[in-house]
Amino acid sequence: MKEKVILAYSGGLDTTTVIPWLKENFDYEVVCCCVDVGQGAELDGLDERARLSGASKLYIEDVIDDFSDNYILPCVQAGAVYENKYLLGTAMARPCIAKKLVEIARKEGASAICHGCTGKGNDQIRFELGINALAPDLKIIAPWRMTDVWKMQSRQDEIDYSRAHGITFEFSTDESYSRDRNLWHVSHEGLDLENPANEPNYKHLLKMSVPPEDAPDKDEYITLTYEKGVPVKLNGKAMKFSDIIRSLNEAGGRNGIGIADIVENRVVGMKSRGVYETPGGTILMEAQRQIEELILDRKTMEVKKNLANKLAQVVYEGKWYTPLREAIQAFVKVTEEDVNGEVKMKLYKGNIIKAGTTSDSSLYSESLASFTTGDFYDHHDASGFITLFGLPDRVRAYRQHKMLTEEDVK
Please give the Cα distance from 152 to 159 (Å, whole number).
Answer: 10
Q: What domains does the chain contain, in order, with CATH numbers?
A: 4-164 (3.40.50.620), 178-296+339-358 (3.90.1260.10), 368-409 (no CATH)
Q: How far apart, in Å, are the Cα atoms of 64 and each of 71, 114, 228, 311, 343?
A: 10, 22, 22, 22, 25
Picking from 274, 108, 68, 263, the residue whose alpha carbon sits closest to that of residue 186 is: 274
Please give the Cα distance from 202 to 188 (Å, whole number).
Answer: 11
For the chain, list residues with pLDDT below 50. none
Picking from 226, 144, 217, 185, the residue whose alpha carbon sits closest to that of residue 38 is: 185
Please give the Cα distance from 373 to 187 (Å, whole number).
Answer: 53
pLDDT (0 to 100) of residue 404: 61
Q: What is the DSSP letter of 68?
A: I
Other beta carbons within 10 angstroms of residue 192's beta carbon come to 14
* Catalytic annotation, residues: 14, 94, 123, 178
pLDDT (0 to 100) of residue 174: 59
Parallel/antiparallel/unpaired status of strands 29-36 and 57-62: parallel
pLDDT (0 to 100) of residue 367: 67
pLDDT (0 to 100) of residue 173: 55
Contacts of 261 (CB under 8 A, 6+ apart): 200, 273, 274, 275
